[in-house]
Chains A and B, each alone.
Chain A
Amino acid sequence: MEPSLARYIWTHTKKQQVWILMIVVLSMIPYFISFDLPKLIVNGPIQGKGFGEPGATQPFMRLHYDLPFIGEVQFFSGFQLDRTETLFALSIVFLLLVIINGLFKLYINTYKGRLGERMLRRIRFDLIDRVLRFPPIYFKRVKSAEVATMVKDEVEPLGGFIGDAFLQPVLLGGQALTAMLFIMVQNFWLGTIAVVIVVIQIVLIPRMRRRLIVLGRERQLTARALSGRVGEIVDGIGAVHVHDTSNYERADIAARLGLIFKIRFDLYQWKFMVKFLNNFLAQLTPFLFYMIGGYLVIRGRLDVGQLVAVISAYKDLPGPMKELIDWDQARQDVQVKYQQVVEQFTVEGLIAPRIGALTIDAPGPMTNPLSAINLSIADDGGGMLLDRISLQVKPGETVALVSTATGGAEALAEAFARLNWPDSGKIASGADDLLELPEAVTGRRMSYASSDVFLFHASLRDNLLYGLKHAPLTSVPYEGAAADQQRWNIHEARRSGNSDLDIRSDWIDYASAGATGPHDLFEAVRRVLDAVLLSRDILDLGLRSSADLTRHTELARRIVELRAALRTRLEQEGLSGLVVPFEPGAYNKEASIGQNLLFGAAAGPELADKALAANPYFASVLRQAGLDRTLFEMGMEIAEQAIELFADLPPDHQFFQQLAFMGAEEIPAYETLLQRLKNRPYEAVSENDRAMIVTLSFAYIEPRHRFGLLSEDLMSKIVAARNRFYETLPSELQNAIERYDPAKYIAAASVMDNVLFGRVGNNHPDAPDRIRSIVYDILDELGLYAELLDVGLDFNVGAGGRRLTAGQRQKLDVARALLKRPDFLILNRPLSALDQRAQDKVLRNVLDEARCDGHSPAIVWVVTNPAMGMMFDRVIVFDSGKLVEDGTLETLLAGKGIFKELLS
């Protein structure tokens, strides 16, 4: 990258800089005129110069110039105005100039703001572009959070500066010079005073600020290191807790913050010190003006108008001066920051841009064998991982790489995947060096999965299809405002040297997955998921999540059929007792009182959880149904029981998990509330207290809590209240609740709850498992299995895929590699988190799936267990970085090599 910031800015913005410079120069004209006006106003109409006799007039706006050789030329003789009129006319001209100056300023500021933002965008994009092209080894040495903070925070001040880079010195310098020139013209000696002070400022202040720059650099480095450490704590939080090192981390962070504090405080001290001095110098000049100028006026060697004009012109000098000095400081500061960042991003062996160039058309298959030629790879410490290995993998061959602990097979697999670059020798595809092939070939015709999986913070589906997103394949039609917006997006992207590829285009390469479009892609996805034994996990996720009804319309459409099928099946198997269905006219004993009252799923905060009892409309329904007092008494009873049971327990006691009514921290509050409300008539209890108590009753489930509080009469009253609630539901609550309707899908509830449409009995310990397997059966019978799998694919895997287990992550990685249907499939201990039996099963499935539909990719698999070699055409054995055996399984078994040893 360009090491000099000034040159970087100039290369990319010279046209704009010249244009804005011209505008600035133009803006100087009205700016200068506005200096002369106060003198004209004070000396002319106010003091009466030229208006000696009453009714005297002066020409206004007379245009005349003394031209050389020609003499005076008059273009316009002007209007004749008297004293008052002249005052008004001149004042209005002053106002006009104020407006014109303001408009110039507005234009200039907007223009340079945009310029700066574009450059910031360009720098950030350039930096990320470099990150995408760094050689793999670089990533072993940097902390991701530090790179992020450089791209995001450290270049940020550059944006603010870039618009000012060339403009500010010209604009402010021009202003300062103008003001200075004007003072000089008015009075030479007063001007000289101002010049001397300014020179002192210009020399002294930047010197004092040098220390600020040093401190600023320290601040930048310590802050970057801090964000690196914060990132480490977040990523390594498990290690912190496992080893009880949270206090060590606290100490480390506190020490760093202390250092940052010290640096920043030093900065402040210096900054304000410099400011003080600067202000003092600026104020010194007027002092001299008043004293010396005043003296001259008294002596009659200077008129008052001149002095006023000098002083008012001087008001405009310290401003630009100060800003000019600030600009110089910002320039140095930003230059340092820029250099720091550029240094970090200047790396040897950057991947050439052509390797990652966009390729729309699918490359042809890789028909050449993949070979390692005299390949040596060393680790970071210099130890040899692979020592002059030569071997060749032919297309269509399946190869198991067996390795002792220090064998080096993994390094070979990484080298095939271009993740580890050779120290000597090379990997070649036919005659081409693999590293010279465009990623468009290797990334599409080869695929790689390893035990070290990285997943993006996105849905399972996005992660699975990630390996197919090589290029934007469709052009999205935009209309109306969206089209304008898109045009603007592309225009701005180009102006900032950014990529203008459309992220909203369909990037999925269906053809490589063996599909023709979105409609039949799912079949391919399902097959790979089945192959890696991940379907069942995803189905479970699907059952537990709520479906996006804009996408999964089929589930909602056939929900009635599904529910009926479940009922029938449960009856057939004599399991009807397991589920108590929701019926609009009946009380469901296995559900809580709150659920029975509401008989719906809360879709907003108004009727959810604790807010329910306090909701005025809901409270009024309870009152009308005659339930308010009953539920209050019930709540009191529950509070008493709960406090009797739990009051003595320490708040962290595990029994509290069983207490559905209140949290451990709420017990003391309820204890005092109970004492206060005991023996007080219901009418005297405040609304708030009532809600607190009534809330308790909502969580009550008779078969589970067994306090004996539910009677037939109460149940029928609750059902009546339920109906009343919906009859008069006010419009503002319409969207806060989705009523349970046997014929309707409930968007706010999970798929499982929707299919069940009821509650599983509390006292059947194995009911959930049995019901789940029945639900899967039914979904399969009704052809909704795929739909549910699709719901499960919406599951967000969390940061780095941490919401999945290690085994699930590895399976997903293999599925992703498989989905691409590559010519070379490289798998590097891909399933190490699974037990041997599951690994064998997936291995068999993957070999079958990879070779379906007449495909015959070469498969290179670094196996975790030598016995897995049985499934491959050829076995290659590594020991201590050397290739020690290579051949078919039979030949290796016949020999007396290391493989046989490993196998036993």
Chain B
Amino acid sequence: MLLKDEVGMLQRVPLFSGIEPTKLKLLAFTSDRVSYSAGQILFRQGDEGDAAYVILSGRADVLVDSDSGPIKVAELAPNSIVGEIAILCNSSRTATVRAASPLEALKISKDHFLRLMKEFPEMTIEILRVLADRLSHTTADLIDARNA
């Protein structure tokens, strides 16, 4: 997959949809292309967060440790971004991400990601929107769980 294809992929990620293509190209160029085979770990819960990943192809599972072993809480499809929370909050990883099939991803380092946010307010707003969206979902889930 070439740089220009990656740019096409990034454009389809909601987070980056508002950013002009030349900037996306720069982001793609300065990010590392990484590939994983099925079962390989992208990062582990509790690790220090140093990068976010955009899935280009393949699928990945999001796992959370519990007393009875890891629980799968979500599945990631191409065009989704993962790992951005640990970067934003300077915290450790809140979940483990494991490749479920051969996986190609773009690894955006923490410094680059923060730099982008500083330079492109539209992207920052988009990230805020996604996060707020997730929060409202989580809150709804919590209410459901309480009521259940």
Contact = CB atoms under 8 A, between A and B. Distances in A.
Most buried by B among A646, A653, A655: A655
Interface string A649-685: 0000111001000000000000000000000000000
A103 B2 CA distance: 83
B42 to A, nearest CB: 8
Interface in B109-148: 111-112, 115
Most buried by B among A703, A704, A763: A763
B30 A658 contact: yes
B55 to A, nearest CB: 14
Given A645-B22, A708-B3, A655 B30 contact: yes
Nearest to A642: B29
Most buried by B among A645, A646, A653: A645
B74 interface: no
B61 interface: no
Given A654-B112, A655-B112, A708-B3, A703 B22 contact: no
A644 B22 contact: yes
Given A645-B25, A763-B35, A654 B111 contact: yes
B19 interface: no
Contacts of B89: none
B50 to A, nearest CB: 11
Contacts of B28: 706
A706 B6 contact: yes
A440 B1 CA distance: 70
Contacts of B3: 705-708
B26 A707 contact: no
A253 B49 CA distance: 44
A765 B103 CA distance: 13
B33 interface: yes
Interface residues of A, number: 17
Interface residues of B, number: 20
A763 B53 CA distance: 13
A703 B115 contact: no
B26 A645 contact: yes
Contact of B34 (A645, A658, A763): A763
A703 B33 contact: yes
B117 to A, nearest CB: 14
Contacts of A655: 26, 30, 112, 115
A708 B112 CA distance: 24
Contacts of B47: none
Most buried by B among A655, A703, A764, A765: A765
B32 interface: yes
Contacts of B6: 706
A764 B2 contact: no
B102 to A, nearest CB: 11
B35 A645 contact: no
B13 to A, nearest CB: 18
A762 interface: yes
A759 B92 CA distance: 32
B93 interface: no
Contacts of B34: 763-765
Interface string A697-725: 00000011111100000000000000000
Nearest to B115: A654
Nearest to B116: A655
A769 to B, nearest CB: 13
A691 to B, nearest CB: 25
A706 B2 contact: yes
Interface in B76-124: 104, 107, 111-112, 115
A639 to B, nearest CB: 14
Contacts of A644: 22, 25
B143 to A, nearest CB: 39
A644 B107 CA distance: 22
A706 B30 CA distance: 11
A764 B40 CA distance: 11
Contact of B35 (A646, A654, A706, A764): A764
Given A707-B2, A707-B3, A763 B32 contact: yes
Contacts of A646: 26
A629 to B, nearest CB: 23
Contacts of B1: 706
B29 A708 contact: no
Contacts of A764: 34-35
B10 to A, nearest CB: 13
Nearest to A766: B40
A571 to B, nearest CB: 15
Nearest to B29: A645
A577 to B, nearest CB: 9
A705 B29 contact: yes
A764 B35 CA distance: 6
A249 to B, nearest CB: 31
Contact of B33 (A658, A707, A763): A763
Contacts of B33: 703-704, 706, 762-763
A645 B1 CA distance: 19
A206 to B, nearest CB: 70
Nearest to B25: A645
Contacts of A762: 32-33
Contacts of B104: 763
Contacts of B4: 708
Contact of A765 (B2, B29, B107, B112): B107
Interface in A752-783: 762-765
Nearest to A657: B30
A656 to B, nearest CB: 9
Interface in A104-131: none
A763 B40 CA distance: 13
A763 B3 CA distance: 14
B29 A658 contact: yes
Given A645-B22, A654-B112, A708 B32 contact: no
Contacts of B32: 762-763, 765
A270 to B, nearest CB: 61
Contacts of A765: 32, 34, 107
A297 B55 CA distance: 113
Most buried by A among B6, B29, B34, B107: B29
Contacts of B25: 644-645
A646 B107 CA distance: 20
Interface string A635-651: 00000000011100000
A644 B33 CA distance: 21
Nearest to A645: B26
B57 to A, nearest CB: 12
Interface string B11-34: 000000000001001101110111
Nearest to B40: A766
B33 to A, nearest CB: 5
Contacts of A654: 111-112, 115
A708 B2 CA distance: 6
A765 to B, nearest CB: 5
Nearest to A707: B3
A137 B113 CA distance: 55
Contacts of B22: 644-645
A704 B28 CA distance: 11
Nearest to A649: B26
B103 to A, nearest CB: 11
A161 to B, nearest CB: 62
A704 B33 CA distance: 7
Interface string B37-70: 0000000000000000000000000000000000
A763 B1 CA distance: 12
18 contacts: A644-B25, A645-B22, A645-B25, A645-B26, A655-B26, A655-B30, A655-B115, A705-B3, A706-B6, A706-B28, A706-B29, A708-B3, A762-B32, A763-B32, A763-B35, A763-B104, A765-B34, A765-B107
Interface of B: 1-4, 6, 22, 25-26, 28-30, 32-35, 104, 107, 111-112, 115
Q: Which 4 pairs of residues, A with B, have the shortest CB-CB distance?
A: A708-B2, A706-B3, A658-B30, A763-B35
Given A655-B26, A765-B34, 4 more contacts: A658-B29, A706-B33, A707-B2, A708-B2
